[in-house]
Amino acid sequence: MKKSTLAAVLAGGLAVLPAAAATRFVLGRRRAEQVWASSHYPKFQDVGTVQRLSVLPLIDWYTASDELTGEPGVSYLIRADDVTILFDVGLNVGQQHPSNLLRNMEALGVSWDEIDALVISHPHLDHLGGMNHAQAGTFAPSAGFVDLHQMPAFVPADLTNPQTVSTVVTEPTVLFPGVASMGPIPRQLFFLGWTPEQSLAINVEGKGLVLIIGCGHPTLQRIIDRAEMLFDEPIYGVIGGLHYPVTASRSERWGLPAQMFFGTGKWPWDPVNEKDVNEAIAYLQARHPKLVSLSPHDSCDWSLNAFRQAFGDAYQDLLVGQEITVAADDA
């Protein structure tokens, strides 16, 4: 179905949308705006720095090798000096065990023994390990048992896994030296409801902040604004998902391009468009980043190409198995 036809069908369905759904959306957007307007935090004083940062995508849509498996979800291995963090646990299509995440970890030589903590960006199925986890308020890296050694998990909502010790992050928090959660920024989505999403800011000495983002539901602009509220350091890089499925979607639900309509903070007949992407690009360009890497898991190829063209040599493709690194000048 063409995008214009689908949008017309959705618009025509306005008259039969349950009043409760529309009311929930309007009230939720108002609540999110109130939370944003009242969220004033002081600058971090002692976040520290790291000498070397690497981000190794373990789950995303495109892969650097045929030996690896892609899916429309996110899981990134973050190494910040001596600390290793698993950021999200993917989608696990079909609830397999071992999951794509576990198989990719094995192929890339990544062991659970080297991971110090988990961070969950937001409570959606493609970041928690599947729909069953999104419905139950849980998360898991595979459909079978995985010994996570009771590692700490920093979550933006009440999410649990019996093999972790979960801490709900409610405000900007330093997690490790040089590594901070910028705190949840909520957004009301029409179909998916109230969505608090946290992003990480990692302060690389002499370079500045690298922002690591799960889906970007709060909008790139607000994530940047939050970073500039909390830090004096410049934004050096942005890595991860920003949810710009303008011309296509990586997944379908009920025969519809799901991400174009189900994961936005807009009315369902008004999907993300080229203007939204260009405005976000301009906002980021004003910060002169030296590294931009957009996740294809929730953005279409048109959006990837728009970012690639806008940022030129600063742009790096985000591929499972292809490490992205940033190091201090003397590291």
**pLDDT computed for residue 250 by the predictor:** 82
**pLDDT computed for residue 1 by the predictor:** 52
DSSP string, 173-210: EEEETTEEE---EEEEETTTEEEEE--EEEEETTTEEE
Distance CA 197, CA 240 (A): 13
Distance CA 3, CA 259 (A): 13
**pLDDT computed for residue 153 by the predictor:** 98
Distance of CA 9 to the CA centre of its chain: 30
Instruction: Indicate the CATH number for domain 3-7+23-327.
Output: 3.60.15.10
Distance CA 127, CA 73 (A): 6
Domain ranges of the chain: 3-7+23-327
Could you list the mean pLDDT of each consecutive 10-residue stretch along the chain, which spans 331 residues? 56 61 93 97 95 98 97 97 98 95 98 97 97 96 96 98 97 98 97 96 98 97 98 98 90 74 86 96 98 97 98 98 93 60
**Longest Cα separation, the chain:** 62
Residues 6+ apart with CB under 8 A from 238: 210, 211, 213, 220, 284, 289, 291, 292, 293
User: Do residues 29 and 188 touch, judged by C-beta distance below 8 A?
Assistant: yes
**pLDDT computed for residue 268 by the predictor:** 86
**pLDDT computed for residue 9 by the predictor:** 53
User: Do residues 251 and 310 touch, judged by C-beta distance below 8 A?
Assistant: no
**pLDDT computed for residue 262 by the predictor:** 78
**pLDDT computed for residue 147 by the predictor:** 95
The bridge status of strand 173-176 relative to strand 179-181 is antiparallel
